[in-house]
Amino acid sequence: MIEVIKVAKIYPPDINALHEISLTVSRGEMCFLTGKSGAGKTTLFKLICNMDQATSGLIEVDGQKMNLLRGRKLSQLRQKIGVAYQDFKLLPKRTAAENIAVSMEVSYKKPQIIRDRVCSLLDQLGLADKYNIPTGELSHGEQQRVTLARAVANFPTLILADEPTGNLDAVTTKRVMRLLSNCNKDGATILIATHDETIFRKSSHRVLEITNGRLKKMTGVPTVP
């Protein structure tokens, strides 16, 4: 699903965020990306979802070279990648439901289908009563879950979750992880960037560790359900 081959990213003037990283994530795999703050996790995500271009190296997602994609092809691929951004990127004046719906609207899903999906997601994440609340009025942890809901709403084949549990208590963290596992069981490939050891310590999934822009350690083997 994801092929990252010798990818480097240098932010101007000369901040070397990634040094020739290579990694492969197979279709249907769920794996964790960990590392100190500033190690380069978010940077790697940005390159994979084409928010930013790599300085050198090659990234392929679903068999398509990311640096060559333009226009409609790029839009179509992006509809298949759900990203929960670390900085959320929510629209504060829109309600939680509207924010989640955005990712389904762009692929012209029917309003009824969107409404059902949004309700079900809010329910699973314990936000059922926030349907009509503008996200600007939600707590940090609630916003974080809305972001995740938006990322998974359109049934993407690849989910990138950047710190999905950073501000959450143990119970809510469990809910979030259950949602992600369910998506994974339905066939989605999932990459989770996190500092939170509790969510991957006991799991059987692969854990990749980045240090200073280099892939340091891998534990576990690729597991495809």
Partner 1 sequence: MSFLFTVLRQLGRNLRQTWGVQIMTLLTVALSVLIFSFSYLVYTNIVHFGDRLSENIRLIVYLDEEPGPELRKQLERKILQFDDVEEINFVSREQAYNRFKAQLGENAAVLDGMPKNFLSPSVEVVPLNTLTHLNRLKDFSDYLSKMGGIQKVQFGQNWVEKFNYTSQLITIIVIASGALLILTTIFIVAHTIRLTILGRHNELELLKLVGATNNYIRAPFLLEGLLQGLLGSSIGLGTLYALFLWVKIHFTTSGFMAIFDFTFLNPWGTVIIILSSILLCTIGSWVTMQRFVKVC
Ligand X SMILES: Nc1ncnc2c1ncn2[C@@H]1O[C@H](COP(=O)(O)OP(=O)(O)OP(=O)(O)O)[C@@H](O)[C@H]1O
Residue 210 CB, shortest distance to Mg ion, in Å, is 10
Amino acid identity at 94: R
Residue 108 CB, shortest distance to partner 1, in Å, is 4
Q: CA–CA separation, 32 vs 7, rounded Å?
A: 19
- Contacted by 77, from partner 1, ligand X, Mg ion, none: CB < 5 to 8 Å by type: partner 1
**Residue 51 interacts with ligand X (CB under 6 A)?**
no
Binding flags for partner 1, 13-32, as an x/- string (CB under 8 A): --------------------
Binding test (CB under 8 A) with partner 1, winner from 58, 102, 119, 133:
102
Strands lying side by side in the sheet with 15-25: 15-25, 2-11, 56-61, 64-65
Q: Which residue stretch of 41-49, 71-79, 104-112, 121-129 sits at the interface with Mg ion (rule: CB under 5 A)?
A: 41-49
Contacts for 213 with CB less than 8 Å, ≥ 6 apart: 9, 16, 17, 18, 19, 21, 39, 40, 43
Binding test (CB under 5 A) with Mg ion, winner from 34, 86, 103, 144:
86
3-class secondary structure, 205: coil
Q: Which residue stretch of 10-18, 69-77, 104-112, 144-152 sits at the interface with ligand X (rule: CB under 6 A)?
A: 10-18
Q: Which is nearer to partner 1, 46 or 205 (CB)?
A: 46
Q: Which is nearer to ligand X, 101 or 193 (CB)?
A: 193
Contacts for 107 with CB less than 8 Å, ≥ 6 apart: 79, 154
Give DSSP secondary structure letters for 72-94: HHHHHHHHHEEEE-TT----TTS
